[in-house]
Structure 1
């Protein structure tokens, strides 16, 4: 019997048989142009554990997987970024990547030493991670090698709902520097590709000990993210308080989730 009904509004709903290419063209491809125009952009994969976030993002793609029709958003997006770079003769480009995870409210570098890192802020850089590894990349292959390494270092564990559950929020970061050939203008932009840990009801996961602690921290971060997004879409006042400091996740994304940036969920 139907106990209750609820209505939800979406910009778009994909069908079960829609391809990875279809999802990419609809959700991510338009972001490439915004990045080259100088906008900071974020793509978030959100959903219950085991719902296909990592598959959709392509967070575990390898260099060998690139030609597969099932390749996810990240490799497709990187490929189009380099295509744009190759087509432009009026500008010089530098592209670099970093990858981090937020595990139990600690920020870890997935491409370097995994000591807990500190979030900092200054006038020039805005929000940044002190001592986060940043690797220059000159090709799609270079970038996917970094992605592979980062994914190998990501925290995972088995739960009752997922045999290989991501226990952290992972962020793959691309920094684009665009300079005119005559050096008259320069633009910097950042792309955050975020594979969130799965939202889950702790009772269903049968978690205890470390798994229980991880689940609590995951849900706290997701709640904080939801509160930030809710505050941003409340058009009653652009001066309303946005609770970025409620979690490491929202604090990290502060520079790329605001009124002047592009966000896709």
Structure 2
């Protein structure tokens, strides 16, 4: 099954002044409770608190005695370490950060100037582990794209619009995408930072630095080693996709802003609605005749293998502690995702 981890973010600076009520609680490390606020008119139809169960619930809202505080290292321990093991053992892996605008997805994945996020930690540890392997021939390649308004752009290239195509095995690939050979984590981080500078961000009512595109960093690891037991050369090839989705948002988040922001919001929501539709169909265990609309969106087309095929996938669902409607929507989305089972194979020759 797709592993789902929920993370509750702390209050933002502009929220602290209003002293809002915290609507979520974690009563066990796998259970999160969402309560309608006392003065919340929209939540009247949900009179009772709702409980959701996931693989792990991480509390980053505040430091309190009865709940362990989850920092960036905790996220790496719960999600990153497992993905590293999968990649090194020849499995395709994927981590997807999902949530509303301003829920902490980019901070969780990329980090800040003070603290590294999941992606820098994974890249550093990957090379640390690969360097410990003697008797192996290793090659690591990196590519970094963004999907902006349903178009693919190479964040490490010249910013040209790229085409998505399918190979003979019906696997989607991006034509003319730059892939770079990297030999250490410093080189990888330099490419990552270059790509982040090119990523499309803008201010909305919900977030000063809102990601207006979905980004996908792909790390492809090829290993060749001699297996004395069989007397043969074994090749393992795996790819690790680290996906930072643009935030889901209601139209009100871009209402009153210029038309470009509104258009971005509608395109973001279109791809996320398609993602939700695909995940719902997959969660119902479809048969071979069921048509899954992967190609209705560039995002789902490129993530086809990760959400419904050969990949060990985890989702980090980032939630706000004070926004009832959006948090409920995210938790329901995450519940659907947790019901999906992928058929995973080691990529071995």
Q: Does TM, normalized by the shorter one, top 0.5?
A: yes
Task: Kindly state the Cα deviation for residue 239 of structure 1 after the two structures are TM-superposed.
Answer: 5.5
Over 3 Å counting, the alpha-carbon distance change for 1:254 and 1:30 in structure 2 is same
Gapped regions of structure 1 (runs ≥ 5): none
Q: 1:259 aligns with which of 309, 312, 319?
A: 309
Residue 25 (structure 1) aligned with residue 74 (structure 2): no
Higher alpha-carbon deviation: 103-112 or 251-260? 251-260
Show CA shifts across 1:197-225 (max 9, x none).
11111113324411111000001111111
Distance 2:180 2:288 in 1: 36
Q: 1:45 aligns with which of 94, 97, 107?
A: 97
Task: Kindly state the Cα deviation for residue 79 of structure 1 after the two structures are TM-superposed.
Answer: 1.4
Residue 11 (structure 1) aligned with residue 55 (structure 2): yes
Task: Kindly state the Cα deviation for residue 236 of structure 1 after the two structures are TM-superposed.
Answer: 5.4
Task: Kindly state the Cα deviation for residue 72 of structure 1 after the two structures are TM-superposed.
Answer: 0.8
TM-score by length of 2: 0.70
Distance 2:216 2:260 in 1: 22
Distance 1:188 1:125 in 2: 18
Task: Kindly state the Cα deviation for residue 185 of structure 1 after the two structures are TM-superposed.
Answer: 2.1
Gapped regions of structure 2 (runs ≥ 5): 1-37, 61-68, 316-349
Distance 2:292 2:133 in 1: 38
CA RMSD, Structure 1 to Structure 2 (Å): 2.0
**Do the aligned residues in 2 keep the contact of 1:110 with 1:151 (CA within 8 Å)?**
yes
The count of aligned residue pairs is: 258
- 2:177 maps to 132
Which runs of structure 2 are paired with 1:88-237 in the superposition (5 Å)?
88-123=133-168, 126-181=171-226, 184-206=233-255, 207-235=257-285, 237=287
Secondary structure of 2:287's partner?
coil
Distance 2:275 2:286 in 1: 19
**Do the aligned residues in 1 keep the contact of 2:94 with 2:241 (CA within 8 Å)?**
yes
Task: Kindly state the Cα deviation for residue 109 of structure 1 after the two structures are TM-superposed.
Answer: 0.4
Higher alpha-carbon deviation: 39-48 or 203-212? 203-212
Q: Which protein has the larger Cα radius of gyration, Structure 1 or Structure 2? A: 2
Secondary structure of 2:75's partner?
helix
